[in-house]
Amino acid sequence: MNEFALLVAATLAAGTPLAIAGIGLLVNERAGVLNLGAEGMMLVAAVAGFATGYATGSEVAALAAGALAGAVIAAIYGWLVIWLNTNQYATGLAVSLFGSGFSAFVGLGLVGKKLEETEVAGVPLLRDLPVLGVALFRQHPVVYLAMALTGGVAFFLHRTRSGLVLRAIGESPVSAHALGYPVRRIRLAAVVVGGTLCGVAGAYLSVVYTPLWVEGMVAGRGWIALALTTFATWRPTRLLLGAYLFGGVTMLQLDLQASGVQVAPQFMSMLPYLATVVVLVLISRNPLWIRLNMPASLGKTFFPGS
């Protein structure tokens, strides 16, 4: 029983970066912008977060640095695709390539360094519950932040006027523009929110989840987070569940390896990536289902005319 509780706890921790990055990407996709640069933003944020954590010893400062790094890169990306109307696919790819090169370069001096591990306090009182305490209430605050964020974004998108405007811009920027909404500024804001959250997720990886810097350590999580938005058909709560599902696959795979299953570790490590493919296939099988849920202007440039 306790072993199961530990597995649940590890699943939540592993799903958290996917959830945070995924929610961020969901917000900017709802506004009609597809940012394939997620992986690159997370990498730069991871190295920025780690460097800050190493220099200051403060976890909060490290996460904030990651958020800032993500926001800055997202702003550059946003300026390119929203004001200069560059192709979103190509520009996102460029951001990913830049991010992996830049983070490798900046992180050279940080390889092999380690952050001091901090004791995680968890939720007072609840942490001492049998089984449940271990499974749910001894997590890093960021894990709960991801849950709160999901609720917050779901409320914002579907229950507030601003959320409605954001979604309208994603569906039809032309109509929103005709109604007088500043389409490009709102899109930029959504992109920066996406970058900020990808940044928090990247910094969480290098500061909290595995407190060290390794080149390319995001290991495809940015791309998996992108896949999650499709998987969740752009709904925040489904995205959170999807992120935990992936966290579970990662943990199960590590658990099986540790318990000495006679399968080569490389095949086990393929599981999260193969799972992403399988999930994409299952969810996309019905083109109508995707078309009904996908923001209609996703990936298309918008030029407001004069």
Partner 1 sequence: MIRLEPRATPSMAMSILSPVIALAITAAAGAALFTALGKDPGQALSVFFLEPFNGVRAISELALKSTPLVLIALGLALCYRSNVWNIGAEGQFLMGAIGGGGLALWVTTAEIGMSRWLFFPLVILAGAMAGAAWAGVVALLRDRFNANEILVSLMLVYVANLFLSWLVFGPWKDPQGYNFPQTVSFAANTELPRVIRGMRLHWGTAVALVAAVVMWLFMFRTFTGIQLQVGGPAPAAARYAGFSSRAAIWTTLLVSGGLSGVAGAFEVAGPMGQLTPHVSAGYGFTAIIVAFVGRLHPLGCILGSVVLSMFLIGGELAQSRIGLPSALAGVFQGVLLLSLLACDTLIHYRPRWSRGS
Nearer to partner 1, 172 or 301 (CB): 301
Nearer to partner 1, 4 or 303 (CB): 303
CB of 105 to partner 1, least distance (A): 4
Q: At CB < 8 A and 24+ separation, what contacts does 255-260 make?
A: 255/7
Encode burial over 219-239: b for 16+ CB neighbours within 10 A, e otherwise. bebbbbbbbbbbbbebbbebb
Q: How far apart are CA 85 and CA 100, in angstroms?
A: 24
CB of 104 to partner 1, least distance (A): 4
Take residue 37 and report the two structure tokens written for it: 């640069």
Q: Can you give the binding site for partner 1, defined by CB under 8 A?
A: 36, 40, 76, 80, 83-87, 89-91, 93-95, 97-102, 104-105, 108, 219-220, 223, 226-227, 230, 264, 266-267, 269-270, 273-274, 276-277, 280-281, 284-285, 287, 290, 303
Nearer to partner 1, 124 or 180 (CB): 180
CB of 197 to partner 1, least distance (A): 19
Nearer to partner 1, 120 or 270 (CB): 270
36 Cβ neighbours under 8 A, 6+ residues apart = 88, 89, 91, 92, 93, 95, 96, 226
CB of 108 to partner 1, least distance (A): 5
Nearer to partner 1, 68 or 227 (CB): 227
Q: How far apart are CA 237 and CA 150, in angstroms?
A: 6
CB of 46 to partner 1, least distance (A): 15
Q: How far apart are CA 287 and CA 306, in angstroms?
A: 36
